[in-house]
Structure 1
Amino acid sequence: MSDQVVQPSAEVAPGLTQMQRIINVFVAPSKTFADIKAGNKSWWLPFLITVVCGAFLWSAINSQVTWKTVYENQQKLQPEFAKRMMDQMPPDQRAAADARGPKTQAITWALSPLGLLVYDLLMALILWPTINFGFGGKAKYGSILAVIMYAGLVLWPIRLLLGGIALFAGAAPDALTSAIPRPPISPHS
């Protein structure tokens, strides 16, 4: 017979649900990130929320502003050398570029969730060895990705929702240039 002593197992509390983690990002962030650290690495719901909020802004732009206006606003922000290059184009090439511009804007914005996902995957890939080898941590790739996705909830969905709400509320379409603010261009730089 074996002399092994059976130890009573410590009861492990179940992790938070994804919805609880999402709510806690705003009211008790340490609970969300402790739950991720405990091994609950699911990241798809924060990404889905960001995509839905982006679709809301996309539909607001599509119905309230039009992609032609977005393209024209982007053209106004171009540096002087780019404006000169566009002005020097033959008229038929310029007309073709102006016809393609709004379609390109709409497609780019529609594909932005894929770009955001790739960006987040790459960010987690860069942070993974940095945390583990650079700082001597023991983080797993999935945990890092989950932290990035949940932390992003504080920025992206709020900005996208507010942008869509502003457009549906009647904000000036000429003010819309991009979801990502650009630094002001100084003539002295």
Structure 2
Amino acid sequence: MSDGVVVAEGQAAEPGLSQVERVVDTFIAPTKTFTDILRNRSWWLPFLLTVIISLGVTATVTSKVGWERVVENQIQASPKQQDAMASLTPEQHAARMHGMTVGYMYTSYAFPLLILLFSAIAALGLWATFNFVLGASTTFGEMFCLWMYCGLPKLLIGLLTILTLFFGGNAEAFDLKNPVGTNLGYYFPDAGAGLKAALGFFDIIGIWTLVLLVIGTSIVARVSRGKAAAVIVGWWVLILIISVASAAAFS
């Protein structure tokens, strides 16, 4: 019998967890949280925490860095964007900078909604893979709820970003796409775009999330940990390849 089934049956008689307990247990006892998803697919608290921290990051970047500086730093990190901006007239350059600044700012405010959209797409992909490839029996709602809880460690990146900017962060070197040093790409700022994108996937928070996804999908899909790991790592490798190719082509 799979690990997920053993956990689910072993805890079926236990009382349900509160939303706060589920968030806490995601960090200290994830199997309890993921088993409880089989009882209740509510995901409002992880989303609320995402909204709060996302708005906190946006407010901090606005006050400590400024969105024009954010755009300038992103352009400096992309030779193709530098060449494109250099070919513009002063009026065109100013208009392009204004448009990019507004775009980055509004995107940051809308980030929680983008998280919902991405989570829905990711959950759909996992649901389809487990149900149609492995023959599992899970629902989209369970996978979506699981994805939201597994993403909780990534909120630590937001908290670290806020703390770093408030206590000595360098606005001129701030990279909105890679704000803190939890991954290898952060320590090689002069690496090529493709290599930097690849190194960015070797992230301690990201790996933590992958481990949670393996544990969680094995429980909600009722498959072995080995099969769950094959699916999660397989998707991770595919996204890594696509991201590296895109970075090399467009940066």
TM-score between the two structures when normalised by the length of structure 1: 0.85
AA matched with 2:27: F
Q: CA deviation at 1:154?
A: 1.4
CA distance in 2, matches of 1:163, 1:128: 32
CA distance in 1, matches of 2:51, 2:192: 30
Q: Which has the higher contact order (CA 8 A, sep 6+)?
A: 1
Query: Are the counterparts in 2 of residues 125 and 141 from structure 1 also a CA contact under 8 Å?
Result: yes
Residue of structure 1 in register with 2:168 after alignment: 170
1:68 corresponds to: 68
Greater Cα shift, 139-148 or 102-111: 102-111
SS at match of 1:16: coil
Equivalent of residue 160 in structure 1, options 158, 161, 165: 158
Equivalent residues in 2 for 1:7-156, closer than 5 Å: 12-37=13-38, 39-79=39-79, 81-155=80-154
In structure 2, C-alpha distance between the alignment counterparts of 1:93 and 1:147, rounded to whole Å = 46
Inter-CA distance 89–46: structure 2 relative to 1 (3 Å threshold): same
- Deviating runs (4+, > 3 A) in structure 1? 11-14, 179-184, 186-189
Q: Aligned pairs, how many?
A: 176
Alpha-carbon separation, structure 2, partners of 1:165 and 1:179 = 16
The alpha carbon displacement at 1:82 in A equals: 2.7
Q: Which amino acid aligns with 1:62?
A: T
Separation of aligned partners in 2, 1:46 and 1:166: 23
Aligned equivalents of 1:71 and 1:117: distance in 2?
25
Aligned CA-pair RMSD: 2.2
Higher share in helix: 2
Distance in 2 (alpha carbons) for counterparts of 1:103 and 1:154: 29
Please give the alpha-carbon distance, in whole angstroms, between the structure 2 residues aligned to 1:186 and 1:65.
Answer: 23
Unaligned runs of 5+ in 1: 1-10
Q: Is the 8 A contact 1:128 1:140 kept in 2?
A: yes
